[in-house]
């Protein structure tokens, strides 16, 4: 149903309930020297950590809307925070498979290629930045977007890959020239 990041997904069980599953035996991409000391730094790990975006997109393209087999390997108990490790709630860690796909060596994080850099402007909460991007987005006309997060039935956070920016999308209250832009926006579900 949803890919949270490079090692966590939300699946819909046969009962109809949703369950967060963490992939076991996976070490997701991390920033070098990533620690709790950088609490005040605004970090968007999906775009800032090498291969995090690619890993999440790989899972999204392979798993969203598909029937998968989930084998629970273990349940990691909740832990409290320390100076170097954040607190974690209980985690169900599992192996998720679809169609018997095998792991290939030398891909993504393990490749010898140059690390990709993603420069993404988050204009979803910054009015000044949004005003600067508005003419550019209007000229772009029809744009494709990926739903990053659904805040409510009428408020979404969208990633526009071609424009490399994050925006907040409101289904109501759109006025004037913005409504033409958003009416032509193609949205791909994550």
Tens of pLDDT, residue by residue over 101-160, are 564 556 565 577 777 777 888 888 778 888 888 888 888 888 888 888 888 777 888 888
Higher pLDDT, 8 or 114: 8
Select the more confidently predicted residue: 63 or 28: 63
Quick one: pLDDT band at residue 15, thresholds 50, 70, 90?
very high
Lateral strand order in the sheet of 8-12: 2-5, 8-12, 18-23, 91-97, 69-76
Mean pLDDT across the stretch 51-76? Answer: 85
Does 189 or 171 have the greater pLDDT score? Answer: 171
Domains contained in the chain, CATH given:
2-31+39-102 (2.40.50.90), 121-170 (no CATH)
- pLDDT for res 40: 47
Residue 37: predicted pLDDT: 46
Q: What percent of the chain has pLDDT over 90?
A: 4
- Taking residues 41-64, report their average pLDDT: 76
**Over 60: is that where the pLDDT of 179 sits?**
no
Average pLDDT score over residue span 68-81 = 86
Residue 178, pLDDT above cutoff 60: no
**How many percent of the chain have pLDDT more than 70?**
73
CA distance 124 to 159: 10
Q: CB under 8 Å to 104, separation ≥6 — which residues?
A: none
Asked whether 124 and 166 are in contact (CB, 8 A), the reply is: yes
């Amino acid at each position: 149903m949803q890919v949270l990041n490079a090692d966590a997904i939300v699946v819909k069980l046969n009962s109809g309930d949703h369950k967060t599953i963490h992939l076991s035996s996976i070490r997701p991409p991390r920033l070098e020297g990533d620690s709790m000391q950088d609490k005040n730094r605004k970090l968007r790990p999906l775009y800032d950590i090498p291969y995090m975006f690619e890993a999440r997109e790989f899972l999204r393209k392979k798993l969203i809307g598909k029937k998968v087999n989930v084998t629970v390997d273990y349940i990691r108990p909740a832990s409290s925070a320390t100076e170097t490790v954040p607190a974690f709630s209980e985690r169900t860690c599992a192996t998720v498979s679809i169609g018997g796909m095998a792991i290939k060596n030398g891909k993504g994080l393990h490749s010898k290629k140059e690390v990709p850099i993603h420069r993404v402007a988050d204009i979803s909460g910054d009015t000044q930045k949004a005003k600067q991007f508005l003419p550019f987005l209007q000229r772009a006309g029809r744009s494709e977007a990926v739903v990053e997060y659904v805040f409510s039935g009428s408020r979404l956070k969208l990633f526009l890959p071609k424009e490399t920016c994050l925006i907040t999308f409101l289904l109501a209250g759109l006025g004037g020239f913005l409504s033409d832009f958003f009416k032509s926006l193609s949205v791909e579900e994550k």
